[in-house]
C-alpha cells in the first residue's frame, strides 16, 4: 500500500508540472499533439523464444510533453519483464529533451520503483540517443543508454542498428542483477515501410550479461549470452 501511495503522489506531481508547462507553451500556433509509437513488437523465430515489445506515447506541445514508455518481454511464467515509465519532458535545445519522472518495474517480482532523470534526442550524424539515470529505494541506482541509427537503403527499405547498455550501482541478488556493467544488447533490424506508419521487419539480436549479473544467471542455470533472429512490426499513429 505504501508503494502504491508513493507512485500515486509522483504521478500527480508529474501531472501538475505537465499542465503548468502546457499553460506556458499555450497559443493558437502551438497546438496540443499526440503520438503513439510501437517501436518494437517482435518475437524470436526459434522454439521457446521470447516475445518482446517497446512502446512509447507522448502528448503535449513543442516545448512541454508528457511521455509514457513501456517495455517488456515474455518467455514463460518464470521469465517475464514489464517496465513502465511516466515522464515530464521539456525541450532544452534543438532536437534534445530533458525528462524527469518515475519508473516502475512490475516484473519480475518483487517490483522496484525508481525516480528518473533522462536525456533524449538526436546526436550529431543522426544517432538517436535515449539516456537515463535511475535512483531507487534502499540506495539503488542504475543507468541505461540506448543508441540507434537509421540507414535508408531505399525510400522504403531501412536498416537500423541499435545498442543498449545497462549499469547498476549495487547488487540486487533477488532479481539476479549485479553491480557495474550488467548487460549489453546489439541488434540489426531491416524493415520495409508499406507506408511510413506501418513497417514489418526482420532482424538479429545479440545479448550478453556481464560481471555479477552473469554469475547470478549461471547459478540459476540461465544463459549468459545468446543470439536470436526476430520478426516484428514497427508502427506509429
What are the tens digits of pLDDT across the range 210-222? 999 999 999 999 9
Q: Give the position of cell 506556458.
A: 24
Indicate the helix (H) or strand (E) that contains 231: strand 225-236
DSSP state of 237: -
* Host domain of residue 229: 2-24+33-236
Q: What is the CATH number of the domain that holds 206?
A: 2.40.160.40
In this predicted model, what pLDDT tens digit does every residue of 152-189 receive, in sequence order?
999 999 999 999 999 999 999 999 999 999 999 999 99
pLDDT confidence bin for 25, thresholds 50/70/90:
very low
Please state the domain count of the chain.
1
Lookup: cell for 8: 500515486
Q: What is the pTM of this model?
A: 0.86
DSSP state of 94: T
Amino acid at each position: 500500500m505504501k508503494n502504491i501511495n508513493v507512485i500515486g503522489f509522483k504521478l500527480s506531481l508529474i501531472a501538475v508540472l505537465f499542465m503548468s508547462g502546457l499553460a506556458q507553451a499555450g497559443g493558437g500556433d502551438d497546438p496540443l499533439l499526440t503520438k503513439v509509437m510501437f517501436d518494437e513488437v517482435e518475437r524470436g523465430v526459434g522454439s521457446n523464444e521470447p516475445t518482446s515489445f517497446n512502446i512509447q506515447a507522448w502528448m503535449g506541445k513543442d516545448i512541454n510533453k508528457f511521455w509514457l514508455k513501456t517495455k517488456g518481454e515474455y518467455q514463460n511464467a518464470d521469465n517475464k519483464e514489464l517496465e513502465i515509465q511516466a515522464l515530464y519532458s521539456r525541450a532544452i535545445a534543438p532536437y534534445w529533451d530533458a525528462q524527469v519522472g518515475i519508473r516502475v518495474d512490475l516484473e519480475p517480482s518483487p517490483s522496484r520503483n525508481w525516480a528518473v532523470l533522462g536525456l533524449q534526442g538526436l546526436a550529431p550524424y543522426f544517432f538517436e540517443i535515449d539516456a537515463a539515470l535511475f535512483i531507487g529505494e534502499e540506495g539503488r541506482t542504475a543507468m541505461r543508454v540506448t543508441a540507434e541509427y537509421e540507414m535508408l537503403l531505399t525510400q522504403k527499405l531501412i536498416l537500423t542498428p541499435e545498442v543498449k547498455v545497462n549499469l547498476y550501482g549495487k547488487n540486487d541478488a533477488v532479481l539476479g542483477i549485479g553491480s557495474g556493467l550488467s548487460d549489453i544488447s546489439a541488434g540489426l533490424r531491416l524493415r520495409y515501410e508499406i507506408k511510413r506508419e506501418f513497417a514489418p521487419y526482420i532482424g538479429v539480436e545479440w545479448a550478453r550479461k556481464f560481471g555479477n549479473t552473469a554469475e547470478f544467471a549461471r547459478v540459476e542455470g540461465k544463459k549468459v549470452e545468446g543470439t536470436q533472429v526476430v520478426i516484428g512490426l514497427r508502427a506509429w499513429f
